[in-house]
Protein backbone atom coordinates (compact mmCIF):
# COMPACT_ATOMS: atom_id res chain seq x y z
CA UNK A 1 0.00 0.00 0.00
CA UNK A 2 1.33 3.42 -0.94
CA UNK A 3 1.50 6.24 1.58
CA UNK A 4 -1.71 8.27 1.94
CA UNK A 5 -1.74 11.49 -0.06
CA UNK A 6 -3.66 14.55 1.04
CA UNK A 7 -4.65 16.78 -1.85
CA UNK A 8 -5.05 20.43 -0.85
CA UNK A 9 -7.15 22.35 -3.37
CA UNK A 10 -6.67 26.09 -2.97
CA UNK A 11 -5.97 29.38 -4.72
CA UNK A 12 -3.40 31.96 -3.60
CA UNK A 13 -5.96 34.75 -4.07
CA UNK A 14 -8.83 33.00 -2.26
CA UNK A 15 -9.60 34.78 1.01
CA UNK A 16 -10.99 31.69 2.74
CA UNK A 17 -7.78 29.84 1.81
CA UNK A 18 -5.85 32.65 3.55
CA UNK A 19 -8.11 32.15 6.55
CA UNK A 20 -7.35 28.43 6.39
CA UNK A 21 -3.58 28.97 6.18
CA UNK A 22 -2.82 28.31 9.87
CA UNK A 23 -4.83 25.09 9.71
CA UNK A 24 -3.06 23.67 6.66
CA UNK A 25 0.33 24.68 8.05
CA UNK A 26 -0.41 22.82 11.30
CA UNK A 27 -1.66 19.79 9.37
CA UNK A 28 1.47 19.76 7.21
CA UNK A 29 3.65 19.80 10.31
CA UNK A 30 1.63 17.36 12.42
CA UNK A 31 1.07 14.72 9.73
CA UNK A 32 4.31 14.91 7.76
CA UNK A 33 5.32 11.42 8.91
CA UNK A 34 1.93 9.86 8.21
CA UNK A 35 1.10 11.09 4.71
CA UNK A 36 2.24 13.20 1.81
CA UNK A 37 0.55 16.54 1.14
CA UNK A 38 0.26 18.06 -2.34
CA UNK A 39 -1.11 21.44 -3.39
CA UNK A 40 -3.52 21.69 -6.32
CA UNK A 41 -4.12 25.21 -7.62
CA UNK A 42 -7.79 25.77 -8.17
CA UNK A 43 -8.04 28.69 -10.57
CA UNK A 44 -10.49 30.85 -8.67
CA UNK A 45 -10.94 33.86 -10.97
CA UNK A 46 -10.09 34.62 -14.58
CA UNK A 47 -11.16 38.23 -14.95
CA UNK A 48 -9.98 40.44 -17.80
CA UNK A 49 -11.71 43.71 -16.89
CA UNK A 50 -11.09 45.92 -13.85
CA UNK A 51 -13.27 45.34 -10.81
CA UNK A 52 -16.48 47.31 -10.46
CA UNK A 53 -17.26 49.23 -7.27
CA UNK A 54 -19.97 46.69 -6.45
CA UNK A 55 -17.59 43.80 -7.04
CA UNK A 56 -15.03 45.38 -4.75
CA UNK A 57 -17.57 45.83 -1.97
CA UNK A 58 -18.70 42.22 -2.31
CA UNK A 59 -15.15 40.89 -2.01
CA UNK A 60 -14.26 43.17 0.89
CA UNK A 61 -17.37 41.87 2.67
CA UNK A 62 -15.93 38.34 2.38
CA UNK A 63 -12.55 39.57 3.61
CA UNK A 64 -14.13 41.03 6.73
CA UNK A 65 -15.93 37.72 7.32
CA UNK A 66 -12.67 35.77 7.01
CA UNK A 67 -10.87 38.19 9.33
CA UNK A 68 -13.66 37.99 11.91
CA UNK A 69 -13.79 34.19 11.87
CA UNK A 70 -10.09 33.36 11.65
CA UNK A 71 -8.19 36.40 12.90
CA UNK A 72 -5.95 36.33 9.85
CA UNK A 73 -4.52 39.80 9.05
CA UNK A 74 -5.94 41.89 6.21
CA UNK A 75 -5.00 45.31 4.94
CA UNK A 76 -8.36 46.88 4.16
CA UNK A 77 -7.12 50.42 3.55
CA UNK A 78 -6.78 51.05 -0.21
CA UNK A 79 -7.41 47.36 -0.89
CA UNK A 80 -8.33 46.37 -4.46
CA UNK A 81 -7.61 49.84 -5.94
CA UNK A 82 -9.26 51.27 -9.05
CA UNK A 83 -8.17 49.40 -12.15
CA UNK A 84 -7.34 46.16 -10.33
CA UNK A 85 -8.03 43.08 -12.45
CA UNK A 86 -8.81 40.10 -10.21
CA UNK A 87 -7.10 37.36 -12.21
CA UNK A 88 -5.63 34.57 -10.11
CA UNK A 89 -3.81 32.86 -12.99
CA UNK A 90 -0.49 34.73 -12.59
CA UNK A 91 -0.25 34.02 -8.86
CA UNK A 92 -1.18 30.39 -9.48
CA UNK A 93 1.38 30.17 -12.29
CA UNK A 94 4.05 31.53 -9.96
CA UNK A 95 3.42 28.63 -7.58
CA UNK A 96 3.31 26.14 -10.45
CA UNK A 97 6.59 27.58 -11.76
CA UNK A 98 8.20 27.01 -8.39
CA UNK A 99 7.30 23.36 -8.73
CA UNK A 100 9.80 23.20 -11.60
CA UNK A 101 12.47 25.17 -9.75
CA UNK A 102 12.38 23.85 -6.19
CA UNK A 103 9.38 21.75 -5.11
CA UNK A 104 10.26 22.33 -1.44
CA UNK A 105 9.33 25.98 -1.93
CA UNK A 106 5.84 25.40 -3.36
CA UNK A 107 4.03 25.86 -0.05
CA UNK A 108 6.31 28.68 1.18
CA UNK A 109 5.72 30.68 -2.01
CA UNK A 110 1.98 30.00 -1.88
CA UNK A 111 1.87 31.36 1.67
CA UNK A 112 4.11 34.33 0.79
CA UNK A 113 1.78 35.33 -2.06
CA UNK A 114 -1.23 35.08 0.25
CA UNK A 115 0.41 37.26 2.90
CA UNK A 116 1.60 39.81 0.34
CA UNK A 117 -1.89 40.15 -1.16
CA UNK A 118 -4.05 40.10 1.93
CA UNK A 119 -1.87 41.46 4.74
CA UNK A 120 0.36 43.84 2.77
CA UNK A 121 -1.88 44.97 -0.09
CA UNK A 122 0.64 44.10 -2.81
CA UNK A 123 -0.52 43.43 -6.38
CA UNK A 124 0.33 39.76 -6.81
CA UNK A 125 -1.01 39.73 -10.36
CA UNK A 126 2.24 41.48 -11.40
CA UNK A 127 5.24 39.32 -12.40
CA UNK A 128 7.69 41.73 -10.77
CA UNK A 129 5.95 41.37 -7.39
CA UNK A 130 5.87 37.58 -7.73
CA UNK A 131 9.57 37.56 -8.64
CA UNK A 132 10.36 39.63 -5.54
CA UNK A 133 8.52 37.10 -3.38
CA UNK A 134 10.43 34.23 -4.99
CA UNK A 135 13.68 36.10 -4.41
CA UNK A 136 12.84 36.45 -0.73
CA UNK A 137 12.83 32.65 -0.63
CA UNK A 138 16.29 32.53 -2.19
CA UNK A 139 15.33 32.01 -5.84
CA UNK A 140 17.12 33.98 -8.56
CA UNK A 141 14.71 36.54 -10.00
CA UNK A 142 15.75 36.09 -13.61
CA UNK A 143 15.51 32.32 -13.37
CA UNK A 144 12.09 32.63 -11.81
CA UNK A 145 10.79 35.05 -14.43
CA UNK A 146 12.11 32.85 -17.23
CA UNK A 147 10.28 29.86 -15.77
CA UNK A 148 7.16 31.94 -15.03
CA UNK A 149 6.92 33.12 -18.63
CA UNK A 150 7.40 29.68 -20.17
CA UNK A 151 4.87 27.58 -22.02
CA UNK A 152 5.68 24.76 -19.60
CA UNK A 153 4.57 26.84 -16.61
CA UNK A 154 1.35 27.85 -18.36
CA UNK A 155 0.63 24.22 -19.22
CA UNK A 156 1.41 23.08 -15.68
CA UNK A 157 -0.95 25.72 -14.30
CA UNK A 158 -3.79 24.66 -16.58
CA UNK A 159 -3.18 21.05 -15.56
CA UNK A 160 -3.71 22.08 -11.93
CA UNK A 161 -6.98 23.80 -12.84
CA UNK A 162 -8.17 20.71 -14.73
CA UNK A 163 -7.29 18.42 -11.83
CA UNK A 164 -9.39 20.54 -9.47
CA UNK A 165 -12.37 20.43 -11.82
CA UNK A 166 -12.01 16.70 -12.43
CA UNK A 167 -11.91 16.08 -8.69
CA UNK A 168 -15.28 17.77 -8.44
CA UNK A 169 -13.97 20.62 -6.31
CA UNK A 170 -16.22 23.66 -6.67
CA UNK A 171 -15.02 25.76 -3.76
CA UNK A 172 -11.79 26.41 -1.90
CA UNK A 173 -10.17 25.40 0.34
CA UNK A 174 -10.86 21.68 0.07
CA UNK A 175 -9.02 18.59 1.28
CA UNK A 176 -9.29 15.15 -0.29
CA UNK A 177 -7.39 12.17 1.13
CA UNK A 178 -6.23 9.53 -1.34
CA UNK A 179 -5.55 6.04 -0.01
CA UNK A 180 -4.48 3.92 -2.98
CA UNK A 181 -7.51 4.26 -5.29
CA UNK A 182 -9.89 5.43 -2.57
CA UNK A 183 -10.67 9.16 -2.40
CA UNK A 184 -12.15 10.59 0.82
CA UNK A 185 -13.47 14.12 1.25
CA UNK A 186 -11.87 15.46 4.43
CA UNK A 187 -13.12 19.03 4.38
CA UNK A 188 -14.84 21.62 2.23
CA UNK A 189 -14.45 25.26 3.19
CA UNK A 190 -12.54 27.00 5.96
CA UNK A 191 -13.10 24.57 8.81
CA UNK A 192 -11.48 24.58 12.27
CA UNK A 193 -8.33 22.56 12.91
CA UNK A 194 -10.07 20.18 15.32
CA UNK A 195 -12.66 19.29 12.67
CA UNK A 196 -10.01 18.62 10.03
CA UNK A 197 -7.87 16.56 12.38
CA UNK A 198 -10.84 14.45 13.50
CA UNK A 199 -11.71 13.64 9.87
CA UNK A 200 -8.10 12.83 9.00
CA UNK A 201 -7.60 10.64 12.04
CA UNK A 202 -10.79 8.72 11.30
CA UNK A 203 -9.56 7.80 7.81
CA UNK A 204 -5.93 7.19 8.76
CA UNK A 205 -6.80 4.77 11.55
CA UNK A 206 -9.24 2.67 9.50
- CA torsion 68-77-137-31 (nearest 10°) is 10
> pLDDT at position 97, please?
97
> pLDDT at position 46, please?
86
Coil, strand or helix: which one is 87? Answer: strand
CATH number at residue 136: 3.40.30.10
Question: What would the DSSP string read from start to end of 131-199?
Answer: HHHHHHTT--HHHHHHHHTSHHHHHHHHHHHHHHHHTT--SSSEEEEEETTEEEEEEESS--HHHHHHH
Is the CB of residue 28 less than 8 Å from the CB of residue 107?
Answer: yes
> pLDDT at position 1, please?
63
This prediction has a pTM of 0.96
* CA atoms of 35 and 8, how far apart (whole Å): 12
Burial 123-143 (b: 16+ CB within 10 A, else e): bbbebebbbebbeeeebeeee
Regions of the chain short of the pLDDT cut 70: 1, 206
> pLDDT at position 15, please?
98
Domain that holds residue 139: 5-204
- Please state, as a whole number, how many other Cβ atoms lie within 10 Å of the Cβ of residue 85: 13
Give me the number of domains the chain comprises: 1
Amino acid sequence: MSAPLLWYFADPMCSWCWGFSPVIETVRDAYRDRMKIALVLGGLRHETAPMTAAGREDILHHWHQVHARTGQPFRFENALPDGFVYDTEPASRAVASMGGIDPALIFPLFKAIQAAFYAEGRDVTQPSVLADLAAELGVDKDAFLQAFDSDAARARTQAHFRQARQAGVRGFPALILQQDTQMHSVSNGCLPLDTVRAALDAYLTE
